[in-house]
């Protein structure tokens, strides 16, 4: 699967990588299709990243979507969609 990044996707991914690095987890763009578990992100680490990004962009991932996020790509894409939706309001 080929993943195409727009500017916002890249920005979100960079922020996620920075937050993960602060948790001693190294992520790269090559990891985009790996599951969060494969990346060493347990539920607590994942929620820490999500909450940090939510605060950064003043958005919130709805609970019904949150449980369906399994890969780094899905996480980036979810934030991208939320930000696009926020812009259009």
The whole-number average pLDDT for the span 78-89 is: 87
Alpha-helix residue ranges (DSSP H) falling in the chain: 7-22, 43-57, 63-66, 72-87
pLDDT digits (tens, 9 = 90+) for 13-58: 999 999 999 988 898 888 989 999 999 999 999 999 999 999 999 9
pTM of the model: 0.86
| Neighbour tally for 74: CB within 10 Å | 16
Q: Compute CA distances 57 → 12, 38, 40, 83, whole Å.
A: 10, 26, 25, 8
For the chain, give the number of residues: 89
């Amino acid at each position: 699967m080929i993943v195409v990044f727009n500017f916002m996707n890249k920005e979100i991914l960079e922020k996620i990588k920075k937050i993960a690095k602060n948790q001693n987890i190294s992520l790269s763009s090559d990891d985009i299709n790996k599951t969060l578990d494969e990346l060493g992100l347990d539920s607590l680490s994942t929620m820490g990243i999500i909450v940090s990004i939510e605060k950064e962009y003043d958005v919130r991932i709805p609970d019904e979507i949150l449980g369906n996020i399994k890969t780094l790509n899905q996480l980036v894409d979810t934030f991208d969609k939320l930000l696009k939706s926020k812009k259009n309001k």
